[in-house]
Structure formats: structure tokens, C-alpha cells
Amino acid sequence: MISIIIPVYKAETFFDECVGSILAQSYGDFELILVDDGSPDKCPELCDKWAATDSRIKVIHKPNGGVSAARNSGLEIASGDYICFVDSDDTLPVNGLQALMCSMEQSNVDVVFGTFQFQYGDKLLPHASRLLEGKYLFKDVLKDFIDDGTLSGFLLGSACAALYKRKVIMANHLRFIEGLKNNEDGLFNFELALFANSFVVINTPVYNYRQDNAPSKPNRMNEKFGEKVFDILDMKEWPKDKYEYDIQKARRKVTLAWWDILHFATDYSLFKSLVFIRKKITQPNVRKGINYMRPKKMNMYKRVIFYLMRYRLCFTFYFLLKYVMPVMQKRVAR
């Protein structure tokens, strides 16, 4: 049986669609755990309403503590052999669970990772995995896990679109880090990678990731959030030299600079935006990290960004962010 855990917070507009997509799955051996994270809208009532319609649905009502705390609460009562995480405004393709479960049964690994699709209204755009379809040992990807040099962050950065063996999570006391607002999924998967043995990547869309629901899925990042992740990784005891943490950390400095530019650069006037971009891409740690990046492994979109950063083309960077990307991101697969 699969335990599906959904943290629920400010998602009443899309919540019914989310739950409906799960109940419509071609694979039906699951329990659905809805964790009301102190949502101030109608979501608590909707959770109870859904629970009254299907015996597979369990509801937890708790004070607001964030998505990590909500997922951890769900893990405490989960009884399935496998765990699947879904966000409350996203949906699953009808065969999503079936694809994950078939791969799990055939390969007998600790985790199966599928691909996902970005959802803009009724339009779905595929998002390709950075890993080719196949079976991997976690130890073989740890040198690239934190940052593989493609301006993309954690190699396996999402806990959604995945199926986990519950016994691996529980035996190693793995939980999401509470109070962290970004990268909690990547850190969870990284922690798991240190203990687990193997995983499979399937080139099958198993998850629809909604992009047009700002209240429940803020895409704005605090400019300092990356330092919190470094603090956690620095303090943690793990074989840093063996897995080339210094190189991965240098790459991640470049990735964080790109994310800061993406999220903040166009908030200002043209002059201030150019100053902001220049400040980010001329930082000494960014110039150092650029030497460890892997443009040949980047898609065309990321490769353009990389060369704009390498050659400090600030105005072209600004023009791309301001006028080109808003049009492209809803039309071109990432």
C-alpha cells in the first residue's frame, strides 16, 4: 500500500482537483493523508468533507508549522509500505501511481523518481530529468547531488514525483527540516542518499506541478536562503572530501547568484537592475565557481544564462529576464 501525504494550506481553489486526481488513479491501493496545516481558508472543511466520502482518506488538523512539519506529521501516522508526497494544488496523471509502483516492483530499489510536467492552466509542459532513465546507486551520484554544475540546484531536488520505501525513511529517522522555506525537499533527498542504496529514474510524467497558484506556492526566495542550506550542510557530519563538497559548494554559489537574479533583478529600475546583476555575477565566489560549471550538460536555455554570467553581459541579461523569459516560460518545455 502507498501512503500519500498532502500538506494542505491556502489551496482551496485547486484542492478538490488535487484530491480528485488521486482518487481517480488507476492504482487504488493507497491511503490518503490530508494534513491541514492550520489553513485559514475553507481547506479544513474540505479535508473533512473528502474524508467522509472515502474510507482511504485520513485527516490531521494541526496549527500552522510549514510544509516540512506537515509532511512529518503525515509520516508519523503513515502505514503503507511506500510513501508519496503531493502538494495540495498539484495533480497526478491518472496512471502516475501505477507507473511508480510498477517500476518499484520490477527494480526493488529504495526510491523511484518519475518526471513531472509544469501546469499553466490547462496547458502541460514537460520537464526532463537531468538523469537518464535507469537504475543508479546513490553513492555514485553524491559528487553531483548538491550541485551538478548545470544551474539547476540539487540533482534530485523534489520529494514529489517520487515513490519512497517507507522502511528506509523510518529506519534512518529521516524527516524534513522544519522552519526551512526553500530546498527542504533537496535536503531530505540528500539525507536519504547518505543512507539508502539505489534508485530508479523513469522517463514518465507522474506529477503535474502547478505554476499559477501564488498563495500556496510562493516562488519568491529570500536572497539569503542559500546561506541557510550551506549552514546545514557545513554542520552535518558526512564525507565531504569524498564527495567533493568544496567543488559542489562553489558551483552552488553560481546557481544561487542566478536564482537571485531571476527572482529580484527586474524589481528595480533599469539602472538599479544592471547594478544588481553586475554585483551578483562579479562576486569572487561566483567567478571561482564558474570554473567548475558544466555548460555542455546544460540545456540551451541554461547555457545562454551561463555565458551571460561568464562574460558579464548585464544588459543582455536584463533584457532576457524582462522581456523574453515571461513569454518563453509558458510555451517552451524546460
Question: One digit per residue, pLDDT tens: the chain, 334 residues?
Answer: 999 999 999 999 999 999 999 999 999 999 999 999 999 999 999 999 999 999 999 999 999 999 999 999 999 999 999 999 999 999 999 999 999 999 999 999 999 999 999 998 888 999 889 999 999 999 999 999 999 999 999 999 999 999 999 999 999 999 999 988 889 999 999 999 999 999 999 999 999 999 876 544 444 456 566 788 999 999 999 999 999 999 999 999 999 999 999 988 888 899 999 999 999 999 999 999 999 999 999 999 899 999 999 999 999 999 999 888 877 765 555 5
Cα separation of 40 and 215, whole Å?
A: 12
pLDDT for the residue numbered 85: 98
Contact 200, 112 (CB under 8 A): yes
**One-letter identity of residue 129:** S
Secondary structure string (H, E, C) spanning the chain: CEEEEEEECCCHHHHHHHHHHHHCCCCCCEEEEEEEECCCCCHHHHHHHHHCCCCCEEEEEECCCCHHHHHHHHHHHCCCCEEEECCCCCECCCCHHHHHHHHHHHHCCCEEEEEEEEEECCEEEEECCCCCCEEEEHHHCCCCCCCCCCCCCCCCCCCCCEEEEHHHHHHCCCCCCCCCCCCHHHHHHHHHHHHCCEEEEEEEEEEEEECCCCCCCCCCCCCCHHHHHHHHHHHCCCCCCCCCHHHHHHHHHHHHHHHHHHHHHHHCCHHHHHHHHHHHHCCHHHHHHHCCCCHHHCCHHHHHHHHHHHCCCHHHHHHHHHHHHHHHCCCCCC
Write down the pLDDT at residue 107.
Answer: 96
pLDDT of residue 67: 97
What is the model's pTM?
0.93
Between strands 134-137 and 111-120, the pairing is: unpaired
Quick one: pLDDT at residue 59? 98
pLDDT for the residue numbered 210: 93
What does the pLDDT read at residue 333?
52
pLDDT at 327: 72
pLDDT value of residue 332: 55
Res 218: pLDDT: 43
